[in-house]
Amino acid sequence: MDDLKAKYLGQIADAADESALETIRVAAVGKKGEVALKMRELGKMTPEERQVAGPALNALKDEINSALAAKKAALADAALDARLRTEWLDVTLPSRPTRTGTLHPISQASEELTAIFAEMGFSVAEGPRIDTDWYNFDALNIPGHHPARAEMDTFYMHRAEGDNRPPHVLRTHTSPVQIRSMEKMGAPLRIICPGGVYRADYDQTHTPMFHQVEGLALDKNISMANLKWVLEEFVKSFFEVDEVELRFRASHFPFTEPSAEVDIRCSWKDGTLKIGEGDDWLEILGSGMVHPKVIAAGGIDPEVYQGFAFGIGIDRLAMLKYGIPDLRAFFDSDLRWLRHYGFQCLDVPTLHGGLSR
């Protein structure tokens, strides 16, 4: 026993690497190792001999295994020390770049147009996305037989049997905010109302939810000339062009009289839209002088005050400015799309709680 112990403990101490250590382990305590063979001889011994040899062999096996484990740990420590002596890390190097969050193009467009209108004296007004049909339709001079009030165009909220509250809808435009603002603030008034709206429509240029900004200006001497100037200044600033030509086409909206759809002069070249030049026209918004009945619905005397209103699709503006071909991409694209079209957060607080540069 003592010879085996001295033999293998000496070999373990002299082992230069883990490969040599494994060879020693197999020779000593493996299934066919010397200690295992000694264990098999126990059956040939008398009970008195087994009582002496059995514990001695178990103790030898445990001692060899302990020596193997200790030597293996010592070899691992030595290898690590060698690596540390030959390798080094420059802790002054900058870290690897990490991806940061980006603003969605719709949020970016909202921030830009809010800043532009703020420079012209417009404040931001907000209101509920679920509203009564009175605010969404009646107060805006939209008659009961108007197609927009049909369930195929408007999302109506479910009403339980016996519910006597007025019908509620997902707002189809942000115009209800204009009525609520007139009720709350009176006149004179100059506001924009950005936010999400809902209509039962879905194709390449329409989605059930989209974003709109509506503007309202009320005073005693406001005219279409003021409307034209505001829209021209906005378009020049938003699309970053020095000159722009707008075309006002007579139209009909229940909430304005007279009403006009507004086109912008543009050109398409090699699939790229250029604003302010060319021979083409592109419709971008609807507008007009606020109907007297709408002013009266807001609690303001239409004999004293008049004003203009306009409505623009924020999603459409973002598509035109950033070259996004399909409106549906705003809602069903993945992070790769947002990394391509997204914007870095800005340095000052903004409408969406981010930072603006």
User: In this structure, are 36 and 175 located in the same domain?
Assistant: no
- Alpha-carbon torsion, ordered 61, 67, 70, 72, to 10 deg: -90
User: In this structure, are 336 and 273 located in the same domain?
Assistant: yes
CATH number at residue 296: 3.30.930.10
pLDDT, tens only, 243-283: 889 999 999 999 999 999 999 998 887 777 788 888 889 89
Last residue of one domain, picked from the residues 87, 120, 139: 87
User: In this structure, are 325 and 179 located in the same domain?
Assistant: yes
Domain-located, residue 187? yes
The number of helices, as runs of H, and strands, as runs of E, in the chain is: 12, 14
User: In this structure, are 178 and 145 located in the same domain?
Assistant: yes
Domain-located, residue 275? yes
User: In this structure, are 129 and 81 located in the same domain?
Assistant: no
H-type alpha helices, the chain: 2-14, 18-29, 34-40, 47-86, 105-119, 133-136, 175-185, 224-239, 292-297, 314-322, 329-332, 335-341
Give the DSSP H/E element, type plus range, for residue 251. Answer: strand 246-253
Domain-located, residue 59? yes
Q: Tell whether the model's pLDDT for residue 40 goes beyond 80.
A: no
**Token couple for 144:** 């009961």
User: In this structure, are 5 and 138 located in the same domain?
Assistant: no
Domain-located, residue 347? no
Least confident of 59-68, 281-290, 330-339: 330-339
Q: Using CA atoms, how far apart are residues 174 and 314, in angstroms rounded to an integer? A: 12
Cβ neighbors of 291 (< 8 A, separation 6 or more) are 141, 254, 255, 256, 257
In the chain, the number of structural domains is 2
Domain-located, residue 130? yes
More confident residue, 312 or 8: 312
**Token couple for 241:** 């062009």
pLDDT, tens only, 221-249: 999 999 999 999 999 999 988 888 999 99
Domain-located, residue 128? yes
More confident residue, 312 or 205: 312
Q: Tell whether the model's pLDDT for residue 299 goes beyond 90.
A: yes
Least confident of 8-12, 251-255, 287-291: 8-12
Question: What number of other Cβ atoms are within 10 A of residue 255's Cβ?
Answer: 24
Q: Using CA atoms, how far apart are residues 281 and 277, in angstroms rounded to an integer? A: 10
Q: Which of 250, 187, 191, 177 is nearest to 221 (CA)?
A: 187
pTM to 2 decimals?
0.66
User: In this structure, are 257 and 228 located in the same domain?
Assistant: yes
Question: What number of other Cβ atoms are within 10 A of residue 89's Cβ?
Answer: 6
- The 3-state DSSP class for residue 246 equals strand
User: In this structure, are 59 and 143 located in the same domain?
Assistant: no
Confidence of residue 356 (pLDDT cuts 50, 70, 90): very low
Q: Is 333 exposed, middle or buried (0-12, 13-18, 19+ CB in 10 A)?
A: middle
User: In this structure, are 116 and 216 located in the same domain?
Assistant: yes
User: In this structure, are 46 and 181 located in the same domain?
Assistant: no
Domain-located, residue 348? no
User: In this structure, are 313 and 259 located in the same domain?
Assistant: yes
First-to-last CA distance in the chain?
A: 81
Q: Is 257 annotated as a binding residue?
A: yes
Q: Which domain holds residue 41?
A: 1-87
Domain-located, residue 346? no
> With left for phi above 0 and alpha for psi between -120 and 50, is residue 355 left, alpha or beta?
beta
User: In this structure, are 312 and 198 located in the same domain?
Assistant: yes
pLDDT, tens only, 124-165: 999 999 999 999 999 999 988 877 777 668 888 888 888 888
